[in-house]
Amino acid sequence: MSLIATRVEQVPALTRPEAASLAATENARFVELVTSLDAEDWVRPTDCPAWDVRAMTLHVLGSMDGHVSVREFVHQMRAGKKAAGDRPDIDGMTEVQVSERGHLRPREIVSQLAEVAPRAARARAKLPAALRRLSFPVEVAGVSEKWRVGYLCDVILTRDTWMHRVDLSRATGRPLELTPGHDDRIVADVVAEWARRHGRPFTLTLSGPAGGVFTQATAGEQIAMDAVEFARTLSGRAQGTGLLSRAVPF
């Protein structure tokens, strides 16, 4: 049976309640995956060359710590800017998140993640409107952009955790939990942003629980692939050609 194609302009933007639900579920799934790790898993390499499993998990923990504490978030931003030097500030910020938690043992990482993950999702959902409207500069694929804090909290932070869950699953061989209503919604939002960024016609057929069929205009590039691989490609973890070379931030 053929799937009905969705026109990308009909993919709705994430509402705040929907974004909050996705964040809560994604944070819980990340904790569940990390809790399942064995001792040897923590030193396995990941698709992010600078990080093994432990370092990647420390980054996610540090990010969540910043979501629940304004003081911690400001500290990470200031220390990260200093650490980054001539590089993008986010590079320094993630280094600070990892290095300042480098003393934690695996069981401590798991314990702290389990405690902060639900709080981080709730804190993002409750962010005041005045803060959500604030904007800040970000570099995406070498191009400077302005992001609103609301976009960061509703979209990017959930994508980041989701992609790192993919990374950890690939690194450790642990099953990757994918369900309709959660993972396919995250991927559909990625598809819609990708389409807006390149503006070209296409038909995209994504397989797997997170997949679907999407179109923009008529004719154009025909792409068929696994939904998770599509997201990995747009994130820069796999080589993309044609329209797949257009990056989307995670």
Are 91 and 205 in a shared domain? Answer: no
Assess if residue 107 is contained within a domain: yes
Residue 95 and residue 21 share a domain: yes
What 3-state class would DSSP assign to 104?
coil
Q: What is the pLDDT of residues 179-237, one digit of tens each?
A: 999 999 999 999 999 999 999 999 999 999 999 999 999 889 999 999 999 999 999 99
In a domain, 119, yes or no: yes
What is the domain count for the chain? 2
pLDDT of residue 208: 96
Q: Do 28 and 152 reside in the same domain of the chain?
A: yes
Rounded to the nearest integer, the mean pLDDT of the chain is: 95
Q: What pTM does this model have?
A: 0.95
Q: Is residue 51 located within the same domain as residue 129? A: yes
Residue 1 lies in a domain: no
Based on the domain organization, do 69 and 104 belong to the same domain?
yes
pLDDT at 2 over 60: no
What per-residue confidence (pLDDT) applies to 143? Answer: 85
Same domain? 187 vs 150: no
> What pLDDT, in 10s, does the model give residues 119-167?
999 999 999 999 999 998 888 888 889 999 999 999 999 999 999 999 9
Look up residue 163 and give its two tokens. Answer: 């992609």
Residue where a domain stops, chosen among 172, 189, 220 = 172
Q: How do beta strands 212-216 and 6-7 pair?
A: parallel
Residue 3 has pLDDT above 80, yes or no: no
> pLDDT tens across 56-71, in order?
999 999 999 999 998 9
